[in-house]
């Protein structure tokens, strides 16, 4: 009879221990499943944020390159306009000098004409 009680007690202890182990394993599995879901969400959030930042970076780099090209074009046009302005200024100075010379020649001719008309030699 003692043996039956011992076997029943041992059997109860083994079953209880087995249940506790199974319950502990189930609790651990549940916790790991929840952790896995949380990690997956964090990864997806990180990946989406990273991809968005990478897209913004690429867009800004493209815009920067376009702005640099525009600046280079505008600098070329400015240099051309400066050269044209200097050439026109030189041409204007030449024309003013030529006009002054022509005005002086005209004044001399008008003076001669007045002298000729005012003093007839016949």
CA angle 68-71-76, nearest 5°? 130
Structure confidence at residue 116 (pLDDT): 78
Which two structure tokens, joined as six digits, stand for 50? 């990273």
Mean pLDDT for back-to-back runs of 10 residues, the chain (122 residues): 86 93 95 96 96 97 98 95 93 89 89 74 52
Q: What is the maximum alpha-carbon separation in the chain?
A: 178
DSSP state of 122: -
pTM higher than 0.85, yes or no?
no
Neighbours of 35 (CB within 10 A): 10
Structure confidence at residue 121 (pLDDT): 55
């Amino acid at each position: 009879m003692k043996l039956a009680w011992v076997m029943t007690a041992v059997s109860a202890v083994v079953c209880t221990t087995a249940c506790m182990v199974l319950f502990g394993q189930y609790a651990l599995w549940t916790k790991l499943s929840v952790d896995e879901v949380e990690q997956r969400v964090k990864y997806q959030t990180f990946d989406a944020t990273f991809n968005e930042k990478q897209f913004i970076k690429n867009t800004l780099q493209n815009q920067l390159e376009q702005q640099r090209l525009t600046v280079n074009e505008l600098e070329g046009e400015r240099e051309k306009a400066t050269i044209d302005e200097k050439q026109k200024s030189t041409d204007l100075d030449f024309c003013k000098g030529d006009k002054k010379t022509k005005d002086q020649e005209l004044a001399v001719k008008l003076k001669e004409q007045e002298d000729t008309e005012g003093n007839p030699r016949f």
